[in-house]
Amino acid sequence: MKLFYATAMALVVGAASYMLWTTFEPTVSAGTTSGSDDTALVKVILPDNFSDKAKVGQVGFNAKCAACHGVNAAGKDGIAPPLVHKIYEPSHHGDESFQRAAALGVRAHHWPFGNMPAVEGVTRGDVKMITAYIRELQRANGIN
């Protein structure tokens, strides 16, 4: 009987992992799309406009994050995951997760891209603005 429950639990965990692992296509709302090049992992719907904080964050993201995480955080096939993805919703990866990732790096745990190194030359303030940009992209794509 214990083997049955262990097998059932393994199947449930495996199914849940597969569902999180598969590519997520954000809900299409209004605005233009980006991330449609061959290496992007998701299509990202841009909001009609960004807040001032997010505009500053977009500049920082483009300078420090886009080389790996792609234009508008759409991810890059074989390089890094999209940040506009349900895995990074605020209830699962809070804003402090982005701070820690930038400052300390991250061991691979959701994706097969390998470990993320710390990001050189960004302050907590920079990451706060970059996070505002990512959060606004997420909201525009139905990730709250």
> pLDDT digit string (tens) for 92-113?
999 999 999 999 999 999 899 9
Q: What is the pLDDT of residue 10?
A: 43
Percent of the chain with pLDDT over 90: 72
Task: Enter the pTM of the model.
Answer: 0.74
Residue 84 φ then ψ, to 5°: -90, 80
Write the DSSP string, the chain.
Answer: -HHHHHHHHHHHHHHHHHHHHSPP-PPP-SS-EE--STT-SS-EEPPS---HHHHHHHHHHHHHTHHHH-GGG--BTTTB--SSSGGGSTTTS-HHHHHHHHHH-B---SSSS-PBPPPTT--HHHHHHHHHHHHHHHHHTT--
The domain spans of the chain are 25-140
Contact at 8 Å (CB) between 85 and 143?
yes
Burial of 66 (0-12, 13-18, 19+ CB in 10 A): middle
- Show the low-confidence residues of the chain (pLDDT under 70): 1-38
Q: What is the pLDDT of residue 26?
A: 39
CATH topology for 25-140? Answer: Cytochrome Bc1 Complex; Chain D, domain 2 (1.10.760)
Q: What is the pLDDT of residue 52?
A: 98
